[in-house]
Amino acid sequence: MSPDGRLERLTRAVALAGGLLLVGVMGMTVVSVLGRYLFNAPVPGDYEITELAIGIAVFAFFPYCHITNANIVVELFTGKLPPRFRAALDAVHNITFAIVAGLITWRLFIGAMHKLEDGETTVFLGIPVHWAYFSSLLGAGLLTMVCVLLLFRHLKTSAR
């Protein structure tokens, strides 16, 4: 299998993990709401768990969305351009996106290290906050790799 294929499979696996995380949060929310209204006993720390899990899940979805070209694109002016020019424009977009994704990855790492050093935890459950940062870092780093891969694909297409 080519490196491109392996990267796409990895992004799919990470996105599926993010989806399972969301299903878990959804189930916990249902249990918490039912517990709150039926027994006056919600799941302790449900807001903290939801907050951390949703952040992780969002970063898990980005790489797969980008590698499968599932981002929303408005082609009002570019739709009629020749494929070579569209590929060049896509290359420029991927350069920009790779820079932004790289900056996000870098800042998530810096933030994770600060949270780890500070020992910051959530208020009610005492969950170490750096776990969410490091988990999100995986998705952000993967997104950066996907942007670079797609950049080279588009450069190759625009050179033809």
∠ CA 72-81-68, nearest 5°, is 35
Structural domain spans, the chain: 3-159
Q: What are the tens digits of pLDDT across the range 38-50?
A: 999 999 999 999 9
Q: Which residue has the tokens 């996000």?
A: 104
Count of CB atoms within 10 A of residue 138's CB? Answer: 18
pLDDT above 90: residue 16: yes
Of 18 and 88, more confident: 18
Q: What are the tens digits of pLDDT across the range 72-113?
A: 777 777 778 888 888 888 888 899 999 999 999 999 999 999
Task: Give this prediction's pTM.
Answer: 0.89
Angstrom distance (rounded) from CA 160 to CA 85 = 10
The DSSP letter of residue 41 is: -
Q: What is the pLDDT of residue 122?
A: 96
Angstrom distance (rounded) from CA 158 to CA 136 = 33
- Distance linking the first and last C-alpha atoms of the chain: 25
